[in-house]
């Protein structure tokens, strides 16, 4: 009987450890949550979405007119079509029973300006929203 009790305690401990790892309670802060040098964390005016801006746009550049949270269609209407685009899945695509919208991201590249990152905000197909602005005047305009 003592051995069966030890196995049960081991299983409980294993379950607790798995829950802590999956919930992100590993004790260390996530480095992606901290702003890097030259990076600003910005929230939309209603506070519903947080994004990042890397660098400072020139006063009359296309990217100076952008705001975090803008839909992709509004961005292209405002600054024109990108030179190139790229799409990829994020790690959240593989989380079972995850119903957030940020399972995929779209990057649009603008020659001489930089690139933008868009992500869905809702699992039911809400429009892609601007979440990152990367200012780089040396941008080639092609996916990298």
pLDDT tens per residue across span 16-57: 655 555 555 544 545 555 556 678 998 988 888 889 999 999
Reading the block at residue 7, the tokens are 């196995």
CA angle 32, 36, 90 (to 5 degrees): 30
Give dist(CA 117, CA 52) in Å, integer: 10
Instruction: Write down the pLDDT at residue 7.
Output: 64
Instruction: Write down the pLDDT at residue 51.
Output: 92
Would you place residue 126 in the very low, low, confident or very high pLDDT band (cuts 50, 70, 90)? low
Mean pLDDT of all residues in 71-79: 94
Looking at the chain, list the stretches that DSSP marks H as alpha helix, in order from N- to C-terminal side. 2-23, 72-79
- Per DSSP (E only), the strands in 23-111 are 39-43, 50-54, 84-89, 104-110
CA dihedral 102, 24, 27, 6 (to 10 degrees): -170
Would you place residue 128 in the very low, low, confident or very high pLDDT band (cuts 50, 70, 90)? confident
pTM of the model: 0.69
Give dist(CA 144, CA 142) in Å, integer: 6
Reading the block at residue 102, the tokens are 């940020």
Mean pLDDT of all residues in 77-105: 82
């Amino acid at each position: 009987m003592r051995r069966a009790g030890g196995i049960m305690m081991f299983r409980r401990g294993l379950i607790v450890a798995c829950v802590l790892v999956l919930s992100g309670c590993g004790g260390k802060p996530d480095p992606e949550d901290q702003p890097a040098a030259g990076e600003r964390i910005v929230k939309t005016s209603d506070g519903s979405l947080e994004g990042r801006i890397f660098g400072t746009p020139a006063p009359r550049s296309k990217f100076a007119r952008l705001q975090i949270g803008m839909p992709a269609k509004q961005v292209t209407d405002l600054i024109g079509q990108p030179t190139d685009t790229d799409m990829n899945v994020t790690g959240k695509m593989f989380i079972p029973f995850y119903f957030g919208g940020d399972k995929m991201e779209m990057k649009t590249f603008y020659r001489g300006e930089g690139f933008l990152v868009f992500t869905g905000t809702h699992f039911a197909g809400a429009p892609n929203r601007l979440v990152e602005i990367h200012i780089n005047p040396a941008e080639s305009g092609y996916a990298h």
